[in-house]
Structure 1
Amino acid sequence: MSFKRCLMLTTAATAVTLFANGVFADVTVETKYGPVTVKDDVKTIVTLHEGALDVMSAINFPVAGSVATRGSETVSDYLADRQPNIHIVGSARETNLEAVIKEQPDVILASNTLSKEQYLILSKIAPTIVPEWSFDTPNAWRKEAALFGIVTGKSAEVEQALHAVDTRAAEIKKKVEQTIPADERQVYIARWMPQGPMVMSKDLFAGSLLAQTGFEPQDGGLLKQGRPHSSILSLENIGVIDQDWLIMATLNKDGQEAFDAAKQSSAFSRLNVVQSNHVQTVDGQVWSSTSGPLAAQVVLDDIEQLLDQQH
């Protein structure tokens, strides 16, 4: 095959080589730890980032191995049916290198938080993609999704999945504007733990979707620099999250039980947001632990349910 007729497409993030006949070839992308080249025809993928697993699931790309979601020994419930044959290769905190090697991946998709030490080890197994955008970078999850689409040769499919999110979010925003007064749209997202709630950064994935649908996510200045959530709040200090709306995210299925238990505290039950029935319990595995087009659709489901409850 002659390589003379090729078109080099270069952006700030990527350098992709496409032959004139349209065949996808090797791709080099910029990552947190420098440029990484991935061979064409990727077939076997390991994801060490729940958002990466979501992106691949959104485009129906089977993933060989992935880390378990927080609070579970397997992947998130909303992805289980889409990845029925997946193998678990670790947790969000620790990767099982032997399990990764066993999968013989063509590429490893990781998160921005992967350390340089871990990267150097994993990159000896397969090209390892570590996005350069941290959680508080505007639209970081979208940039990640596009990056993962490029390295797997599925950019068009990923773009289509993102477009579906945008279309639906725009429709929901119209409902928000028709249903909720402009000065009553402030919202907190709190991950509800046994010891108490933690306020999640307004810049995280779920916060960006709330903003996209017309809400005003808050975090009250409670987060330390570079942290995605606050320290655990005591029930005595919980008044800080008493705004127009409260999203209660739990890492298991007992969200309603957690809400009922919290209401046993007079400090919680007296909150205006509780008394006005503006509290929504949601799946923390989606709202506070992952990202991606499929997770976005779940978040949008919950936002629509919140609106429906106001009628």
Structure 2
Amino acid sequence: MNRKTNSVILTSLIGSLAMIGACSNQEDVAEDQGATAVEETQTITHLKGESDVPLEIEKAVVLSATYIDHMLTIDEKPYAVNVEARYGGDYPAYLEDQLEGVQLVGSADEPNLEAITSLNPDVILVESRTPDDTYNLLEQIAPTIVLGNEWLDYDEDPDFWTEDLLAIAGMYDKVDLAEKKIDELSQKTEDARKIIETLEDRKLAYLRLRDDMVQIYAENGHPMNTLLYNELTFSPSQMTPVDQREDLSLETIPEIDADYIFLEGDVNSSDTVEEMKQSELWNQIPAAQKDQIYATDSYWLLKGWGAIGRGQIIDEILNDIE
């Protein structure tokens, strides 16, 4: 065997060994990566049990307007969200400027499973009212976390609304930031309360226009109500129910003894409002006499569940009464 032949054989042998070594290294790397992937997950306890999600979440699909508020509160932008057609647009209007470029994946009630699958999300956030069959389909796409205190019996603890915010913040290791935002909101609420407590008369009724009828919101039963009557210390009118909102007839509306009325709905184009104003007894309402009837948008109930929304409610109230 000549030197040239030996050289060729040696070269081939070295090449083969190099390939074997490379394959071995790739397998080791793959094993290391697999081990690392296991180490970089976290277990989240939620209403459906436990789910393992990445420690570093980059693609969160959020199927709740409330959770969008929570995520933006901790400076996290959802990767995709549900549409909010019931509020007149794709995104909740009060958060729209922070959601530019965020993808839409159907409604919370009818999520677009194909669109969600194509995004390859790290985690999906849904409310407790999500049907089991929908949850099961979503769970096949990505770990699906079921929160949703807003769809459970409301606890009269004024901090009840913070539980889902803190749960989401925990997923991002941002509980400290969430608590800071909650503290800032508490201070803002306290400052507003001090202003409201200087009012000589602060009896309040919160009304909602519903097609051809008017509803009056309760003193309890929702974080928005608790904000108005418990934290900001407005006094409920005599017609304000304690726990559940009620329908009002046009005949009883002039009997409202409120100094302030917040009226949710399209006030300017409402036949119901015009009919109320034409009532002979309308001007007997203290709020009408004092020109202290203020229109609100349809988001107050939604805003009541989030730090950003609650802050905006306070700003709107102070802008009206000052």
**Bigger helix share:** 2
Give the match's secondary structure for 1:208.
helix
Which residue of structure 2 lines up, in the alignment, with residue 165 of structure 1?
A: 185
Max Rg structure: 2
Label 1:257 to 1:32 Cα distance change in 2 as closer, same or farther (>3 A): same
Distance in 2 (CA, whole Å) between partners of 1:42 and 1:269 is 56
State the TM-score, normalized to the length of structure 2. Answer: 0.74
Describe how 1:272-291 pairs up with structure 2 within 5 A.
272-285=286-299, 287-290=300-303, 291=305
Q: Is residue 28–residue 36 contact of structure 1 (8 Å, CA) maintained in 2? A: yes
Report how far residue 57 of structure 1 moved.
1.7
Report how far residue 304 of structure 1 moved.
0.9
Q: Is residue 44–residue 52 contact of structure 2 (8 Å, CA) maintained in 1? A: yes
Describe how 1:136-151 pairs up with structure 2 within 5 A.
136-137=154-155, 138=157, 139-151=159-171
Amino acid at match of 1:294: I
Which residue of structure 1 lines up, in the alignment, with residue 70 of structure 2?
A: 55
The unaligned stretches of length 5 or more in structure 1 are 1-23, 224-228
The unaligned stretches of length 5 or more in structure 2 are 1-38
Distance in 2 (CA, whole Å) between partners of 1:99 and 1:240 is 52
Give the match's secondary structure for 2:221.
coil
Describe how 1:253-292 pairs up with structure 2 within 5 A.
254-258=266-270, 261=274, 263-266=276-279, 270-285=284-299, 287-290=300-303, 291-292=305-306
Which residue of structure 2 lines up, in the alignment, with residue 214 of structure 1?
A: 233
Report how far residue 301 of structure 1 moved.
0.6
Report how far residue 217 of structure 1 moved.
5.2
Q: Is residue 200–residue 288 contact of structure 1 (8 Å, CA) maintained in 2? A: no
Distance in 2 (CA, whole Å) between partners of 1:89 and 1:169 is 35
Give the match's secondary structure for 1:74.
coil
Amino acid at match of 2:192: I
Label 1:195 to 1:67 Cα distance change in 2 as closer, same or farther (>3 A): farther
Which residue of structure 1 lines up, in the alignment, with residue 145 of structure 2?
A: 129
Q: Is residue 105–residue 111 contact of structure 2 (8 Å, CA) maintained in 1? A: yes
Q: Is residue 256–residue 281 contact of structure 1 (8 Å, CA) maintained in 2? A: no
Give the match's secondary structure for 1:140.
coil
> Which sits farther off after the overlay, 210-219 or 117-126?
210-219
Which residue of structure 2 lines up, in the alignment, with residue 193 of structure 1?
A: 210
Which residue of structure 2 lines up, in the alignment, with residue 84 of structure 1?
A: 100
Amino acid at match of 2:301: S
State the TM-score, normalized to the length of structure 1. Answer: 0.76
Q: Is residue 31–residue 132 contact of structure 1 (8 Å, CA) maintained in 2? A: no
Report how far residue 113 of structure 1 moved.
2.5
Report how far residue 268 of structure 1 moved.
5.0
Q: CA RMSD in A?
A: 2.8
Report how far residue 302 of structure 1 moved.
1.2
Report how far residue 195 of structure 1 moved.
2.2
Report how far residue 288 of structure 1 moved.
1.8
Q: Is residue 197–residue 233 contact of structure 2 (8 Å, CA) maintained in 1? A: yes
Label 1:303 to 1:234 Cα distance change in 2 as closer, same or farther (>3 A): same
Distance in 2 (CA, whole Å) between partners of 1:25 and 1:216 is 51
- What do the CA deviations read for 1:1-52 (whole angstroms, capped 9, x no partner)? xxxxxxxxxxxxxxxxxxxxxxx95333332222333221001111111110
Distance in 2 (CA, whole Å) between partners of 1:97 and 1:269 is 53
Instruction: Give the number of aligned pairs.
Output: 272
Distance in 2 (CA, whole Å) between partners of 1:91 and 1:269 is 43
Identity of aligned residues (%): 22
